[in-house]
Amino acid sequence: MKIHESAENYLEAILILNRRNGDVHAIDIAAELNFSKPSVSIAMKKLREGGYIEINELGHITLTPSGQEIAERIYERHTFLSAWLTSLGVDPVVAAEDACRMEHVISAESFDAIRSFVKANS
């Protein structure tokens, strides 16, 4: 199922925050992404209804298996593309920004081809 770029960004942020801090709350996501708490609350409701996250009675947000899969894919693309662009001489800040845009639009086929090419030539 194809989800919107904004949803992918939220799922990736939840993954990163979980790895960094353990428990994830909406306020943590708002701070990480520099979004308002009401905007994050609306997004969390949509992600919960879509089956991508679960929120317990204490407000802890966790990824479901489908949310985890999407978050891992986006995070892998981001870290790989950012490192690759940096290795090509792109400023790390620019590389991270470009990777953030590229990670959402590149096809699985193209990403796999780039990753294979880079690994074979490194």
Instruction: Please check whether residues 57 and 86 belong to one and the same domain.
Output: no
Of the chain, the percentage scoring pLDDT greater than 70 comes to 98
Number of domains in the chain: 2
**Overall average pLDDT of the 30-40 stretch:** 95
**Overall average pLDDT of the 39-57 stretch:** 96
Instruction: Please check whether residues 44 and 79 belong to one and the same domain.
Output: no
The per-residue pLDDT for 1 is: 47
Instruction: Please check whether residues 56 and 75 belong to one and the same domain.
Output: no
Last residue within a domain, chosen from 20, 35, 64: 64
**Overall average pLDDT of the 77-99 stretch:** 95
Tokens 């090419």 label which residue? 117
Instruction: Please check whether residues 54 and 81 belong to one and the same domain.
Output: no
Question: Has residue 2 got a pLDDT over 80?
Answer: no
In the chain, alpha helices (H): 5-21, 26-33, 37-49, 65-87, 92-105, 108-120
Q: Give the domain range for residue 108.
A: 70-120
Mean pLDDT of the chain: 94
**pTM value > 0.75:** yes
